[in-house]
Structure 1
Amino acid sequence: MQSSNAEHFFETDAEQEKRQRRAAKAGNKYGNPIQLKSKILAAVPDPRSPSSALLVAESAGAVRLVNLDNPDSTKVFRGPTAPVCCVAVGGPNSATLFAGSWDKSIWSWDLASGAPGRRYTGHTDFVKAVVCSKIGGKDILISGGADKKILVWDIVSGARLHTLQDSVVNMLSIQDLVVDHASSSETEICLISASSDPHIRRWKIWVDGWEQIAEPSPQAPGAERHTIVEHETTVYKLVLEHDGGEVNLWTSSGDGTAKCLSRLRNFTCEDSFHHGDHVRAVAVTDQWVITAGRDEDVKFWDRASGKLYCSLVGHYDEVTELVMLRGTNGSSERLCSLSIDGTIRTWPLEKSGLDAAVMEQEKPAEAEKEDDAGGNGLLSAEEEAELAALMEED
Structure 2
Amino acid sequence: MSRSTDPGHFFQTDAFESTRARRAAKSGNKNGNPIVLQSKILSVTSDPFSSSSIYIAESAGCVRKVNVETRDTKTVYRGPAAPVTSVAIGGHAGAIVFAGCWDKDIWSWDRESRAVDRKYKGHSDFVKAILFARIGGKDCIISGGADSKIMVWDTATGERLHTLRDKSDTMMALQDLAIDLEDSNADEIILVSSSSDPHIRRWRISLASASQILDTVEAPAAQNNAVRDTILEHETSVYKLLFSGDDEDSDLWTASADGTAKCLSRAKNWNTEETYTHGDYVRAVVVTSQWVITAGRDEDVKIWDKSTGKLWHIYEGHYEEVTGLVLLGGEKSVVSVSIDGTIRTWGLERAALEKAIKEREDKMKGKVKEEKVQVKKSLLTEEEEAELAELMDED
TM-score above 0.5, yes or no: yes
The 2-side partners of 1:188 and 1:163 are apart by 16
Which position in structure 2 is the counterpart of 1:227?
Answer: 230
Which position in structure 2 is the counterpart of 1:57?
Answer: 57
The letter for the 2-side match of 1:338 is V
The 5 Å alignment of 1:157-176 reads: 157-168=157-168, 170-176=170-176
Q: Report if aligned partners of 1:144, 1:151 keep a CA contact under 8 Å in 2.
A: yes
Local SS of the residue matching 2:182: helix
The letter for the 2-side match of 1:163 is T
The reply to whether residue 33 of structure 1 matches residue 34 of structure 2 is: yes
Identity of aligned residues (%): 53
- TM-score under structure 1 length normalisation: 0.91
Which position in structure 1 is the counterpart of 2:341?
Answer: 342
Which contiguous aligned blocks of 4+ residues in structure 1 show a shift greater than 6 angstroms?
A: 381-384
Which position in structure 1 is the counterpart of 2:376?
Answer: 380
Which position in structure 2 is the counterpart of 1:191?
Answer: 191
Q: Report if aligned partners of 1:165, 1:171 keep a CA contact under 8 Å in 2.
A: no
Q: Deviations over 1:35-83 (max 9, x none)?
A: 111000001011111x210101000001111110111452110000100
Q: Deviations over 1:323-360 (max 9, x none)?
A: 11133xxxx62100111111111011112211212333
In structure 2, the CA distance between the partners of 1:187 and 1:216, relative to structure 1 (3 Å rule), is same
- TM-score under structure 2 length normalisation: 0.91
Alignment length (residue pairs): 379
The reply to whether residue 3 of structure 1 matches residue 8 of structure 2 is: no
Q: Report if aligned partners of 1:87, 1:130 keep a CA contact under 8 Å in 2.
A: yes
Equivalent position to 1:255, from 252, 255, 258: 258
Q: Deviations over 1:78-113 (max 9, x none)?
A: 000100000001112221000000000010001111
The 5 Å alignment of 1:251-330 reads: 251-327=254-330
Local SS of the residue matching 1:131: strand
The letter for the 1-side match of 2:334 is L
The 2-side partners of 1:298 and 1:218 are apart by 38
The 2-side partners of 1:120 and 1:308 are apart by 43
Moved more, 243-252 or 133-142: 243-252
Local SS of the residue matching 2:279: coil
Which position in structure 2 is the counterpart of 1:18?
Answer: 19
The 1-side partners of 2:65 and 2:260 are apart by 31
User: Per-residue deviation at 1:223?
Assistant: 2.4
Equivalent position to 2:244, from 241, 244, 254: 241
Q: Report if aligned partners of 1:278, 1:295 keep a CA contact under 8 Å in 2.
A: yes
User: Per-residue deviation at 1:380?
Assistant: 3.4
In structure 2, the CA distance between the partners of 1:283 and 1:218, relative to structure 1 (3 Å rule), is farther
Moved more, 307-316 or 359-368: 359-368
Which position in structure 1 is the counterpart of 2:392?
Answer: none
Q: Deviations over 1:10-47 (max 9, x none)?
A: 21111000000000011111111111110000010111
The letter for the 2-side match of 1:131 is L
The 1-side partners of 2:197 and 2:375 are apart by 53
User: Per-residue deviation at 1:206?
Assistant: 1.1
The 1-side partners of 2:242 and 2:77 are apart by 26
Local SS of the residue matching 1:341: coil
Moved more, 257-266 or 216-225: 216-225
The letter for the 1-side match of 2:297 is R
The 2-side partners of 1:209 and 1:13 are apart by 55
Which position in structure 2 is the counterpart of 1:47?
Answer: 48
Q: Deviations over 1:149-198 (max 9, x none)?
A: 00110000000111000113625100000111111111101100000001
The 2-side partners of 1:3 and 1:356 are apart by 45
The reply to whether residue 146 of structure 1 matches residue 142 of structure 2 is: no
Q: Report if aligned partners of 1:136, 1:187 keep a CA contact under 8 Å in 2.
A: yes
The 2-side partners of 1:167 and 1:313 are apart by 43
The letter for the 2-side match of 1:294 is R
The 2-side partners of 1:16 and 1:256 are apart by 25
The letter for the 2-side match of 1:161 is L
The 2-side partners of 1:181 and 1:245 are apart by 10
The 1-side partners of 2:254 and 2:188 are apart by 24
Local SS of the residue matching 2:267: helix
